[in-house]
Chain A
Amino acid sequence: MTNRRNFLCAGAAVTLGTAHPLLWAQAGGPIRIGILIPLTGSTSQFGATMSKAAQIAAEEINAAGGINGRKLEVIIEDDQSNPEAAVRAARKLIDVDRVVAIGGSYASSVTSAIAPLCWESKTVLATSSGADSITKLPHLGYIFRTSPTVTLQGTRVGELGVELGAKKMFFMGPQTPFAQSYIDIISGIFSKAGGSGGGLIYEDKKSGYRSEVDQALKSKPDLIVLGGYVPDTSVVLKDLYRAGFEGKRIGFSFGINQKLIEAVPAEVGEGAYSLVPSAAVGATAYKRLLTKMKVEALDSYSCQVYDHVNMVALALASTAKAPMTGTTVHDNLRNVTQQAQSQLVDSAADGLKLLAKGTPINFDGASGSLEFADNGDVKGVFFRYEQIQKGKLVVTKVA
């Protein structure tokens, strides 16, 4: 009997003791931002730099005194390039860590899966995914997208194809939330220009795509658009080479990049084009991030993650009285990133100082000027057009 009573007392004490910090973690302790990124799996090519960029942002903010005197903590979780694993990680971030916002969120399938958890729990979701469908979700303003949409990327790829003189386009890509949109958008552009377009969607975990390549080449295309990630794109490129395809090949930054060049023999990738959402390469924030990361250039996605942390922190700091919650971020984010008359800043440290004095700010990040339309999509994005020349990615134009 004594044992049972002791057990109950101990149990109650443990429950109270643990429940207390969990429930009130965001009231006095550090303010937490979750960073959900692909550190492993097929979309993980930028995972390591994304993680580092998020940590640098947090270090900068804490060195400048934190948010309204409270420390900022970024909690990095691996989404494994897998929506199911991402949902588990997002649940942990929201329910256990009680984050005010989740940043990163790269693959569109991952973002689509975790988005409802975010808006239902009033947690802001800053995403670097492209699928148009994401900002069409009933997200109540809790989603901010810093990456160009699929429609925009598809349009640019289509225009590049036409510019390169191609007449017959064929799209090959894995099943993703945006594959069919790409086929429709790029085909549309080719039809308008007097050409034609088609496409097929394949399964992404195959050891070979010979039959798919046979089907693609049946219509005798002079341009193949590759809509996949690195693992499948590398195999498709090899099979296109084996089949003797001599036409042009255009891919996206998540499929044709430095990792792909390392993954295929030189002759296989040579001449392929890649459309890369460009970071704000002229911006001070970008240059500062490069120095801190000790690299010469950085992909747009890592810059976006850096900006996610910064803009969330500034939104919270812009109001000293409001509770440190996702709703506060939701209400104030646009106030600190896109008020034309406010003072322009390019670092969170400067922004925090000005906000403390009550001066309104307009934060421009490393990925761009961070102006969001009503639906949450970012406005004004630049692209780098790159081509693999002699085993290296060479920028052919920025527009």
Chain B
Amino acid sequence: MFADLLQHIVNGLVMGAVVALPALGLTLIFSVLGFINFSIAAQMTVGAYAGWLVNSQLHWPLVPVLVVGFAAAGLAGVIGDRLALVPMRRTVSAHTPLMVAIVSIALNLALENAIRFGFGSDLNSFEMPIARDVQFAGVRIGPQQMHNLGIALTVAIVLAVFFTVTKVGKAMRAVADNPDLARLKGIDPAKLSNLATFIGMGLAGIGGALLAIDTSVDPSTGSRLLLIIFSASVLGGLTSLTGAVLGALLIGVVSEVALLAISPVYQSATAFVAILLVLLVKPSGLFAGSSGVRK
């Protein structure tokens, strides 16, 4: 029983790691720009396709593939933001964040279908060897998945350092905290919003590429996980970067451990019931106020 529990926890961490990076991106964009950019799912797919192209055509290995996934999704994210979302954000009203979020859903659909138009609906596989799992203290561990978990956590740590140490990182936090005050101090929120979108979407791109290496790439690669990414971000308090990562891992673990008692068909339901319970007790999210963009 204990071995089973441990196995499900490990599986949950692996599941959560896939969601962690896009959740981190969503949280970052929300913190700095103040709205939920749902087109993050399509940017995951963009990152996955970009990585797949350089891997299958040019035979690039893992790390360059992830860099390409980051850059492609980041760039596509900024372009999408400038074309579709910036004009919406200019009209300032109480409903602006909601309107921009809805336009971002439209942008997400448009991007997904553009990818489908270009590449078709087929599944595509990366040219990466598939490894058998290894047994460790009675628990089955996938080397690739552990690798993914490692990469996700490393990126999260690098990001945390970026926000605490660098000038730009601190400026972003200033904008997140109080845009007007930041402007008075000579920080240009427009420039920073581009950077936040680039990094946020880039993170989603890495997440998409990692997910696709593990499974396969198709136009719905990202959108299948959109709801769970959003939930991870909400669970983490929407403004806390640590919260986003922990929220993702928690959702993964809860939904996998629930399998011990409940049929797999109801798996997402168990995760969402858990979120509901958490938000009833702590409406601001589990980790709001802990270290993050908005301290």
Contact = CB atoms under 8 A, between A and B. Distances in A.
B89 interface: no
Contacts of A264: 125, 216
B140 A243 contact: yes
Interface string A382-399: 000000000000000000
A208 B8 CA distance: 12
Contact of A242 (B123, B133, B224): B133
B164 interface: no
Interface string B127-140: 01111110000001
B256 interface: yes
Contact of A235 (B8, B215, B219): B215
B125 A263 contact: yes
Contacts, number: 109
Nearest to B19: A207
Interface string A34-70: 0000011110110100000000000000000000000
Interface in A168-222: 175, 200-203, 205-208, 210-212, 214-215
Nearest to A212: B264
B215 A208 contact: yes
Contacts of B145: 208, 210
Interface residues of A, number: 38
Of the candidates B121, B122, B123, the one having the most CB atoms from chain A within 10 angstroms of its own CB is: B121
A39 B117 CA distance: 11
Contacts of B220: 41-42, 231
Contacts of A242: 130-133, 142
Of the candidates B129, B215, B225, the one having the most CB atoms from chain A within 10 angstroms of its own CB is: B215
Contacts of B225: 205, 207
A259 B215 CA distance: 14
Nearest to B10: A210
Interface in B11-29: 11-12, 14-15, 18-19
Interface in A4-53: 39-42, 44-45, 47
B263 interface: yes
A262 B120 CA distance: 14
Nearest to B135: A244
B123 A40 contact: no
Given A205-B224, A210-B142, A264-B216, A234 B11 contact: no
Contacts of B130: 238, 241-242, 265, 267-268
Given A203-B268, A214-B7, A264-B216, A244 B133 contact: yes
Contacts of B267: 202-203, 206
Interface in B206-224: 211, 214-216, 218-220, 224
Contacts of A210: 11, 14-15, 140, 142, 145, 256
B122 A262 contact: yes
A231 B218 contact: yes
B263 A201 contact: yes
Given A207-B18, A212-B264, A40 B216 contact: no
A175 to B, nearest CB: 5
Given A211-B11, A231-B220, A265-B125, 11 more contacts: A41-B121, A201-B263, A201-B264, A202-B267, A205-B225, A206-B15, A206-B267, A207-B18, A207-B19, A214-B7, A263-B124
The 7 closest A-B pairs by CB, nearest first: A263-B123, A202-B264, A210-B11, A205-B224, A263-B216, A44-B121, A211-B11
Interface of A: 39-42, 44-45, 47, 175, 200-203, 205-208, 210-212, 214-215, 230-231, 234-235, 238, 241-244, 259-260, 262-265, 267-268
